[in-house]
Structure 1
Amino acid sequence: MNRTLNLFEQLKGIDEEKLNAKFKTLRNNLFREKLILERWTEKFEDRDNKLIKEFQQTFHSSFWEFYLYAVFTEMGCKFDFSKNRPDFIIDTPSRILVEAVASEINKVNGRSESTRNVNDTSSMLLPPHKQLDFFEVLDEAITRYSNSISKKNGKYKEYVKCPWVSGDEPYVIAVGSYAQVNYGREYIYPMMALLFGEYYDPLQKKYIDKTFIKKPGTDVNIPLGLFRDKKFNDISAILFSCTMTLGKLTSLANSSEEWPEINHVVNIRHDFEEPHYKLQEVSPENPEFLTDGLFVFHNPYAKNKLDLNLFRQTNALQVYIQDGEMLFEGENLPIYARHNAFFPFPKEELDRIALNLNS
């Protein structure tokens, strides 16, 4: 049985104007990226027969699930597709429940991605303390993530009643951020605040303790520090990325010797030691890997802990508390942001960007 999804087939009853702009860009213009995505989804099963339609019309949620499937497959995981929920049931190396969610732009008053401009693109090359909208981006992301995680935390109460859920498996919520136009530079800061109450202040260049923020434009409090007590102990960990974009596919294409470079990708990597920002011109000799840009935030109060060893053979950065200390563990420097352009930067310009990032 051929189970490969035909992601780009023309579906009956769906007019061209109803298709998502990113889907059309991928279908019509990005042949390398399109092929990578099709490879990701080999043997992926569409259990409710809605996935392709959702991918073509709304894009992000399906796109995020395809990425997660590719990550888990690369890790050697085996799946149980015989059940219709949650999104992923991993059987091997151990049984894990994964619920995926794409954190989207506020439909009421959020700025549309169609308004993205050159200033947004160039802002990926600025450090936090030089971003005039840093707190605006931070608080909006926290608000959107909080909404997504709260909903999926509630879903566990339903799943645990299913006969195929024993209740002693780790439950992981996988959050892909598309929460605002400049989601690509949210980095770990919103999750650090939301989960641990560690609110980054770029002027002081350190985290400060905080228990809540105001929902942007309102007097409503958004609680911080969800992983500071047992209220969210059903959640074993949050799997997260804000850089799973079309640019990710382009970067992976540039990392392969299979195709010539078309766009030029520069990753800004974050080092916890000074100088904090390192530039990476992506190429086959200096590649980006599938799990670069992925983060795993472990819940110290989880009733079913996620094994740290599961992601230790990947490039994901794991964040966890051990003996009262916050630890950051990973094989590679995490991606802070990514810049994708038609032409490469001259060396002098790259040097200037690196200097600006670290000054």
Structure 2
Amino acid sequence: MLDLFKNLPKVPEEKFHAKFKLLKNSLFREKAILSDWVKDFVDRDNKIVAEFQENFHSSFWEFYLFAVFSELGLKVDFSHSSPDFIITYPERILVEAVVSNIKDGGRAEQDRKHEDILSMLIPPHQVLDFQEVLDEAIVRHSSSIHKKWSKYKKDYSKRKHVTRDEPYIIALGSYDQVNYGREFVYSMMALLFGLYYDPLADDYLPRISIKKPGTDSDIPIALFNNDVFEDVSAILFSCTMTLGKLTALANSEEKSGQMNHVVNVRQISAEPTYSIKSVSPTEPEHLSDGLFLFHNPYAKNVVDKNMFGNTNIVQIFLDGDQFRFEGNHPPLFSRYNGIFKLPEEFLSKIVRAFNRLY
């Protein structure tokens, strides 16, 4: 059993990541949930605990993915060092995990303030820096995807235990800026399909490139609109996989006790378009909420959508110039996780703002 919190430290305590210290010292129910996720996880190179303590996000993302795969009943072969997850049952799929981090010199995560937390409850059409946030996310995600695509072509595909007829998924966790939790799917819809969301028009507009923030450099987008990335079968993505996920799962339990106030914004198909509710045993958040699987229409090896059908993962397909969302539950748009309980009248105002009911 992988132990993340005993027999410490693997690294000097002064190097502990702030989120690791918070989990270790204060978030006891959340710590228990995470420990349950990793009980069958195999640390193949004996480095992941130290990585978790010092850098946090990349290891945390892998632990979460393993928990989702385990809940699905997928079998993972840990006998090879890479890719990160070799799923062998019910079908063979390769999954490589990667995270997008804040750029060098970018605003540091420890600078997050209460207004940043509250920004998760601001609708896109009222976000003054929406395009800036979106473009920064696109650039950071493009770099991460290109890195793992190149790794597959130059390394993984040449290994004896890898064949060229099995799907290859890049699992991307977004931690690209302080307020990464309000990206929803907009960054990936633009980067993968060239569909750039305009919040004022409330519509996706076709684009083939964006300007890298602060420069005149063009960044190509619409990566899945031709066969260049045919080796990448799909992108599994989330921008809501943070400590708030653990607290949301804890608040969803029958005997959760007093914890942070967690509020979920969900996008629903019927009018009004958005639902905003406090997370509780009667309005729970599930493990796979917040995950999106973007299928590559030009993939050489197609992912069977039924592999992930019995979850709350939302699967996204592009058919010609039309896209469709398939899922069992309304997608998680964003999440507020704060120590202050928000009054119902405030949440009612947020509902009206999201649904443009003035």
Map residues 162-241 of structure 1 onto 2, 5 A cutoff.
Answer: 162-241=159-238
Structure 1 residues 248-268: Cα deviation after superposition (integer angstroms, max 9, x where no partner): 000000001143131111100
Distance in 1 between residues matched to 2:120 and 2:256, nearest whole Å:
26
Q: Which residue of 2 aligns with 1:344?
A: 341
- Does structure 1 conserve the Cα–Cα contact (< 8 Å) formed by 2:10 and 2:49? no
Q: Which residue of 1 aligns with 2:102?
A: 105
1:10, distance to aligned residue in structure 2 (A): 4.5
Q: Does 1:96 align with 2:81?
A: no
Query: How far does residue 15 in structure 1 lie from its aligned partner after superposition?
Result: 2.1
Q: Which AA in structure 2 matches 1:282?
A: V
Match of 1:262 in 2: 259
Return the offset for 1:179. 0.3
1:319 is matched with 316
Q: Secondary structure of the residue that 1:305 maps to in structure 2?
A: coil
Other-structure match for 1:60: 57
Amino acid at match of 1:55: F
Deviates more, 1:313-322 or 1:296-305: 313-322
Aligned-pair distance for 1:356?
1.8
1:142 aligns with 2:142: no
Q: Is the 8 A contact 2:10 2:50 kept in 1?
A: no
Deviation at 1:286, TM superposition (A): 1.2
Determine if the alignment matches structure 1 residue 153 to structure 2 residue 139: no
Q: What is the distance in 2 between the residues matched to 1:42 and 1:190?
A: 33
Q: Structure 1 CA distance, aligned partners of 2:121 and 2:163?
A: 46
| Residue equivalent to 1:36 | 33
Equivalent residue number for residue 77 of structure 1: 74
Kept after mapping to 2: 8 A contact 1:172/1:239: yes
1:119 Cα deviation from its structure 2 partner? 1.5
Report the AA paired with residue 37 of structure 2: W
Check whether the contact 1:211–1:223 (CA below 8 A) recurs between aligned residues. yes
Give the letter aligned to residue 173 of structure 1. Answer: I
SS in 2 for 1:160: helix
Change (3 A) 1:303 1:13: closer
Q: C-alpha displacement at 1:345, in angstroms?
A: 2.3
| CA drift at 1:342 | 2.1
**Structure 1 stretches of 5 or more lacking a match?**
none
- Residue 280 of structure 1 aligns to which amino acid in structure 2? K
Contact 2:290 2:332 (8 Å CA) reproduced: yes
Residue aligned with 2:35, SS: helix
- Per-residue deviation at 1:323? 5.8
Report the Cα distance in structure 1 between the residues aligned to 2:19 and 2:93, rounded to whole angstroms. 31
Asked if 1 retains the 8 angstrom alpha-carbon contact of 2:294 and 2:317, the reply is yes
Matched, 1:246 2:243: yes
Change over 3 Å in CA distance of 1:13–1:256 after alignment to 2: closer
Deviations 1:142-171 (CA, angstroms, capped at 9, x unpaired) = 000000000000111111111111110000
- Tell me whether 1:299 sits opposite 2:305 in the alignment: no
Q: Percent identity?
A: 58
Aligned residues of 2:101 and 2:174 also touching (Cα < 8 A): yes
Other-structure match for 2:283: 286
Q: Distance in 1 between matches of 2:269 and 2:209?
A: 26
CA contact (8 A) 2:83 2:95 kept: yes
- Aligned-residue CA RMSD (Å): 1.2
**Does the aligned pair in 1 maintain the 2:239–2:290 contact within 8 Å?**
yes
Deviation at 1:274, TM superposition (A): 3.2
Answer yes or no: is the 8 Å Cα contact 1:11–1:53 preserved in 2.
no
Counterpart AA for 1:142: I
Match for 1:275: what amino acid? Answer: P
Contact 1:41 1:66 in 2 (8 A): yes
Q: Report the Cα distance in structure 2 between the residues aligned to 1:195 and 1:357, rounded to whole angstroms.
A: 26
Q: Give per-residue Cα distances to partners, 1:312-337, cap 9 Å, x unaligned.
A: 11001100123653111111111111
- 2:152 partner letter: Y
TM-score normalised by structure 1 residue count: 0.97
Query: Which of 257-266 and 298-307 deviates more?
Result: 257-266
CA distance in 2: counterparts of 1:223 and 1:239, whole angstroms: 20
Q: Once structures 1 and 2 are overlaid, which stretch shifts more, 330-339 or 173-182?
A: 330-339
Matched letter for residue 121 of structure 2: L
The CA deviation at 1:348 is: 1.7
Farther-moved stretch of structure 1 (60-69 vs 338-347)? 338-347
Q: CA deviation at 1:357?
A: 1.8
Aligned residues: 355
Q: CA deviation at 1:210?
A: 0.4
Aligned-pair distance for 1:74? 0.3
Cα drift, residue 346 of structure 1: 2.3
